[in-house]
Structures are given as C-alpha cells and as structure tokens.
Structure 1
Amino acid sequence: MCYFSQLSRFTVWISLLFFTSAAWTQSSFSVAEQIIRAAQFDDFNTIKKYAEQQGDVNLAETDRGETLLMISIRENSQRVFEYLLQHPKIQLDQRAKNGDTAIMLASYLEQKNTVQRLIDAGAQVNQEGWTALHYAAVVGHLEIVQLLIAHYAYIDAETPNKTTPIMLAARRGEMKVVNFLIEEGADISLKNMLGWTAYDFAVESERRDIAAILQKLMQARIKERN
C-alpha cells in the first residue's frame, strides 16, 4: 500500500473521530443546558432558533434560578440580551431563587445602559423586599441611583429586615449617594429591625464624615419639631 493511501485513511479516521467526539459532547448536554450555554456565550443564532421552535425564552438554570435574560446580563452577552429583551413572551420581572430580577442584577453589576434598556422595555423598578435601588446604593453607583429615582423608585424601600437604601449607602461610605438620597427626601429617621438608623450604620462602619452629616440633620430636625 502506498504512503499517500495510508495517509488518506489516517486523515479520514481522524476526521471521523473528531466529529464523533463533537457529536457525543453535544449530546451529553440536555437541551436546557445547551440553551443556557448559548446565553452565556452570546450564541444568538442558537437562542433565536430555540425561540422560533417554541422554546421557553424564560428558561431558568437550576442552581441560582437565573433566567436566560439574567444570564445574558451577567455574562455581558449583548446580542442575546437584545433579542430576549424584545421577545414578546419575555417576562422581565421573573425572579431568581434569591429574589433578584433582571433589573436588580443589572443594578448590582453597575450596568447603567442595561438598566435603562430594561426600564424602557417595561421592567418594574420597585419590588417587594430588596430592590434595584438597594443594589445601586450598596455598590455606590450614583448614576443608576439617579436613574431609578427618576423612574419612581421608592426611596425608602425596605428589605425584609427593614433596611433602606440610604442605610446601605451610609454603611459603605458612599457619600455622593447619601447626599443625593437626602436631597431627594430619604427619611433618615427610619430604623431597621435592629433599631439602627442610617446614622448608626455610618458609625458602626466608621464612616465619620457621613455620620457627621446625618447627625447634624437629625439634630436640626429635632429642633424644628421642638
């Protein structure tokens, strides 16, 4: 047998091995897993084909319960995000297992443009318990805080233990966010379930500059009432 004939057979064998391996790898994932991976890696074509075949565009992965839309936000899969955002069956306010929605996740990840796109598409700014405003405050993203307030985010929203956005911002030392929330009318006298105000959060975390501002405001309001 000639050398070229042997080489040809070897090439065919390698090709068959490669395609068999690829097919096995693909089949080792369930349809749901393949779609979730497509969302992670911005595989727009796979997501589009799946949706056109009546696939669930609100599919959620099993661990955290994040939807395809949330996954596209977390992984910055822009083409998948834009496609899902405009899909008529998308549920913008579907919650993950921890209660997060897409707009809450985008706020926590400091994705202002994504937050704006979600709002424009009709996502709810206010949620029961933790909200997008809490997340924007805790990461100190002033522009997202301003955007949410401009779209009627409840400024004194309470987490399950009654912690408000200004309390979180005070604890993290986010002076610009604290000042903005004060200007917009945040109630600095509110207490969480531990009896702590925003001032107490600032003191506990040694944010002396913020504590001084809050203390001065509280004293001024006490004088006004008297």
Structure 2
Amino acid sequence: MGILYSEPICQAAYQNNLGQVWQWVREDGNCINVQDGFNGDTPLICACRRGHLRIVSFLLRRNADVNLKNQVSKTKQNESLVRMLLNAGAEVNAIDCYGCTALHYACKMKNQTLIPLLLEAHADPMIKNKHGESSLDIARRLKFSQIELLLRKAS
C-alpha cells in the first residue's frame, strides 16, 4: 500500500494520479507547496519518492518550490528526477538532518550516473556530514577509486 498522507494532493502525487493532482491545483493553486502534517512531504517530494516524472514535470511547470524540505530531507536519487530538479533550481549542496548532501548519498550508493551529474551542477565534495565525513571520504572508505578520482578533481 505504501505511505498514507493527510494532504490529498500529496496522496494523489504519491499514487501517480495526475488527474487528481491537476484538480487540486486548479481548485487551490497554493496547495502546490503544501507540506503534509506527518513528515512535511510536499506533492513534489511525494512524486519524486515514487519516480512519477509526469507529475514532477507538471508540478515544476507550476513553480513548485524545489528547495522545500521534509523532516528527513531526502529525495529519491533517480537521474531523470535529479536532472529535472537541478534544472528547476534545486540547491545541489542542500543538507539533510544528518548533514548529508545528495552527493553523500550518491557516493554511499556508488551511483556512477548521479555523481558526475551532481559534480557538473557544482556539488561540493568537501562538505562534511554530522559524522565529519565528506563525499570524498565516503568514496575512499568504500574503495570506490573511480569516483574518488572524480571527486578529487572537483575539490
């Protein structure tokens, strides 16, 4: 079943129901950036969580705020979604409650597709999380030598 949201537009975005999302936005344009009462997810975060590109695109065209954070501040790391969010002005070096950036998570996941994309958008590989670890440190610890090289060149 997945997640249940208290905000109907968040539930519709999570369930990939573009018709419902469109209807909610048409009725109240301010609901585009509403944050769910439970975890602070916005419709954009809900759509990203499930990789619903059409809904993400719809929300971005209507100026959804790409820099609003939920209580955890993580966005699913999908190349198309990340590219869309960066093109819409998402802060590439935004940190979550653990002090981690998207680059930290991409390194932890050994994601060879996202890391160059984030570096191209000027992600800072030297930002340290709450454990004092940078993306470069993570790549080194995981013995991810190709990415370690990329991160060194970018720092």
Letter of the 2:53 partner, please give it: Q
CA distance in structure 1 between the partners assigned to 2:45 and 2:88 by the alignment: 15
User: For residue 61 of structure 1, what is the aligned residue in structure 2?
Assistant: 36
1:22 aligns with none
Pick from 44, 57, 81: which aligns with 2:56? 81
Could you list the per-position Cα deviations for residues 108-166 of structure 1 after superposition, in whole angstroms to 9, with x for gaps in the alignment?
A: x3x11111111111111112432111111111112211111111111201112321001
List aligned pairs for 1:24-173, cutoff 5 A: 32-54=6-28, 55-88=30-63, 90-98=64-72, 100=73, 104-106=74-76, 109=77, 111-128=78-95, 129-173=99-143
Q: Please, what is the CA RMSD of the aligned residues?
A: 2.1
Residues 174/62 of structure 1: CA separation in 2 closer, same or farther (3 Å cut): farther
User: Sequence identity of aligned pairs in percent?
Assistant: 22
Task: Specify every segment of 5 or more residues in structure 2 that has no aligned partner in the other structure, as ranges.
Answer: none
Could you state the TM-score of these two structures normalised by the residue count of structure 1?
Answer: 0.59
Aligned-partner Cα distance in 1 for 2:130–2:58: 34
Normalising to structure 2: TM-score of the pair? Answer: 0.84
Structure 1 unaligned segments of length 5 or more: list them. Answer: 1-28, 186-226
User: Match of 1:70, SS?
Assistant: helix
1:155-178 per-position Cα deviation (integer Å, ceiling 9, x unaligned): 201112321001222333323222
CA 1:45–1:136 in 2, change beyond 3 Å: closer, same or farther?
A: same
In structure 2, do the counterparts of structure 1 residues 173 and 63 end up closer, same or farther at CA, with 3 Å as the change threshold? Answer: farther
Match of 1:201 in 2: none
Q: Tell me by how many angstroms 1:181 deviates.
A: 1.3
Any conservation in 2 of the 1:42–1:78 contact (CA below 8 Å)?
A: no
Distance 1:76 1:146 in 2: 20
CA distance in 1, matches of 2:31, 2:143: 42
Larger Rg: 1
> Residues 93 and 123 of structure 2 are in contact (CA less than 8 Å); yes or no, is this contact kept in structure 1?
yes
Relative contact order higher in (CA < 8 Å, ≥ 6 apart) = 2
Per residue, is there more helix in 1 or in 2? 1
